[in-house]
């Protein structure tokens, strides 16, 4: 991936977060993606979310696989460690990293090729483990770096720039995640920062696996007439059902939730997000009804967005395994080694 250092320009007037850091402190190197790429908007939303959540940069781990989307961790939070792994394998690396150190916040950025084709196995198993991470799919329906082949999320009938329309069933990451028991599932659009930023905040703070599937159009290979992942098509068929507001702990007392209109969800770490239903018939706490609703709207050609499912009650991976609270990577080795006498004792059984 190309690498262009950003000029350091001082802006004394920029607002600071609780750590005294400005939005600039959460930026990365200059993006080398195409001008107008949806992914750059997602990057900006991530920066905004992380800045507003007052996350210490080095306590964030940025994980990715291969593809246009997977380049983007270089473009945000310079002072966080990044791991740009191999194609489709970001979930396993994140699983290992999280197993070793549960104190960090994990954000994985993937694409529809990386997650739904080559990496579909790892994607589904990370969900099954309820790995505590925020998993972003920048979903554009095509392979960009290899110049425009369909991905597994391309809709039936969607037209490529050249050649035949797609005939294969798409894999929908949201319904896949629903069927696998993901505990925070959202969909959004790279062109709707207002919706996206709070969804990302909730996803980052959620304890367990959170999926944010973001329609993020490819301006070069999939933004033409007849494509179902273009800006125009998405804007036209985009349908909010549930919006989310993040309530900063300091503001919680002031926030009022009117019955039937807003539903607070208390996250493990003590934070709260507020669900605001746009469509009253939608129930984001029921997997069965969410699935039915999403399928029906999909059949009607709509792209349903918002926080589509949330479940704060299920234990994440470490809790399921019964691991100690201290990160395993920080346990002093001498405390882990049973020693000479134990070895002698044990070997009594080998005679």
Partner 1 sequence: MATVNDVVIKIATVNGTGSASANGLLRKSIFRMGVPVVGKNYFPSNIQGLPTWYEIRVTGDGYHARSNRVDIMIAMNAQTYARDMAEVAPGGWLVYDSTWPRKSLLNRDDITIIGIPFSRMCNQHFDGARARILMKNIAYVGAIAALLDIDVEIITALLEETFAEKKKLVASNMEAIQLGYDYAMEHFACPLPMRVEKMNATAGQIIIDGNTAAGLGCVYAGATIGAWYPITPSTSLMDAFRDFCSHYRVDAETGKRTYCIIQAEDELAAIGMVLGASWMGARSFTPTSGPGISLMSEFIGFAYYAEIPAVIFDVQRVGPSTGMPTRTQQCDIISCAYASHGDTKHVLLFPADPAECFYMAVTAFDLAERLQTPIMVLSDLDIGMNDWMVPELEWDEDYVPDRGKVLGAEELEEMERFYRYLDVDGDGIPYRTLPGVHPKGAYFTRGSGHTKLGAYTENSADYQDVLDRLLHKWETARSLVPEAEISFSKFNKAAILTFGSGDGACKEALDRLEAHNIGLNYCCVKAFPFTDAVRDFIDTHDVVYVVEQNRDAQFRTLLINDIDADQNKLVSLLHYDGMPINAGFVVARVLEEIAKGRAA
The residue (of 232 and 321) whose beta carbon lies closer to partner 1 is 321
Q: Is 9 exposed, middle or buried (0-12, 13-18, 19+ CB in 10 A)?
A: exposed
Q: Phi and psi for 309 in degrees, rounded to 5? A: -155, 140
Shortest distance, position 47 Cβ to partner 1, whole Å? 15
Nearer to partner 1, 105 or 265 (CB): 105
Provide, rounded to whole angstroms, the least separation between the CB of residue 6 and partner 1: 13
Closest separation in Å from C-beta 87 to partner 1 = 8
Interaction site with partner 1 (CB under 8 A) = 1-3, 56-59, 61, 73-74, 78-86, 89, 91-101, 103-104, 121-122, 124-125, 129, 318, 321-325, 327-331, 333-340, 342-344, 346-347, 350-351
Q: Residue 96 Cβ, how far from partner 1 at the closest point, in Å?
A: 3
Q: Is 123 left (phi over 0), alpha (psi -120 to 50) or beta?
A: alpha
Q: How far apart are CA 179 and CA 183, in angstroms?
A: 11
Residue nearer to partner 1 on the CB measure, 86 or 171? 86
- Give, rounded to a whole angstrom, the gap between the first and last alpha carbons of the chain: 58
Residue with Cβ nearer partner 1 (129 or 193): 129
Minimum Å gap between C-beta 213 and partner 1 is 21
CB burial of residue 331 (10 Å; 0-12, 13-18, 19+)? exposed
Answer yes or no: are the C-beta atoms of 187 and 214 closer than 8 Å. Answer: yes
In angstroms, the CA 270 to CA 258 distance is: 21
Taking the complex as a whole, the smallest distance from the CB of residue 59 to partner 1 amounts, in Å, to 6
CA–CA separation, 328 and 313 (whole Å): 24
Q: Minimal CA–CA distance to 61: which of 41, 45, 80, 46? A: 80
Which DSSP category does 250 fall into? G
Nearer to partner 1, 58 or 266 (CB): 58
* Nearer of residues 288 and 344 to partner 1, judged by Cβ: 344
């Amino acid at each position: 991936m190309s690498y262009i250092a950003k000029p350091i320009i001082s802006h004394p007037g920029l607002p600071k977060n609780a750590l005294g850091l400005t939005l600039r402190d959460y930026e990365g190197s200059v993006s080398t993606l195409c001008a107008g790429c949806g992914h750059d908007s997602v990057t900006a939303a991530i920066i905004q979310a992380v800045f507003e959540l007052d996350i210490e940069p080095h306590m964030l781990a940025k994980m990715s696989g291969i593809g246009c989307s997977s380049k983007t961790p270089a473009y945000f939070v310079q002072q966080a460690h990044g791991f740009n792994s191999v194609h489709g394998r970001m979930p396993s690396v994140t699983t290992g990293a999280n197993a070793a150190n549960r104190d960090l916040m994990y954000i994985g950025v993937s694409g529809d090729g990386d997650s739904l084709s080559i990496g579909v196995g790892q994607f589904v198993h990370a969900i099954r483990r309820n790995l505590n991470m925020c998993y972003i799919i920048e979903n554009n329906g095509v392979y960009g770096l290899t110049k425009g082949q369909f991905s597994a999320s391309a809709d039936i009938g969607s037209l490529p720039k050249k050649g035949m329309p797609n005939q294969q069933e798409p894999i929908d990451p949201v319904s896949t995640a629903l069927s696998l028991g993901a505990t925070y599932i959202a969909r959004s659009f790279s062109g709707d920062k207002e919706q996206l930023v709070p969804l990302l905040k909730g996803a980052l703070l959620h304890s367990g696996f959170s999926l944010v599937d973001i329609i993020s159009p490819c301006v070069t290979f999939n933004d033409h007439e007849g494509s179902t992942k273009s800006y125009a098509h998405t804007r036209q068929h985009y349908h909010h059902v549930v919006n989310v507001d993040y309530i900063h702990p300091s503001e919680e007392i002031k926030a009022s939730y009117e019955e039937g209109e807003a539903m607070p969800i208390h996250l493990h770490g003590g934070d709260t997000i507020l669900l605001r239903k746009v469509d009253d018939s939608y129930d984001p706490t029921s997997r069965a009804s969410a699935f039915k609703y999403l399928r029906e709207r999909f059949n009607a050609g709509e792209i349903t967005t918002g926080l589509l499912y949330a479940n704060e009650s299920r234990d994440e991976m470490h809790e399921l395994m019964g691991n100690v609270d201290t990160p395993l990577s920080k346990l002093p080795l001498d405390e882990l080694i049973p020693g000479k006498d134990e070895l002698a004792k044990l070997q009594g059984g080998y005679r």
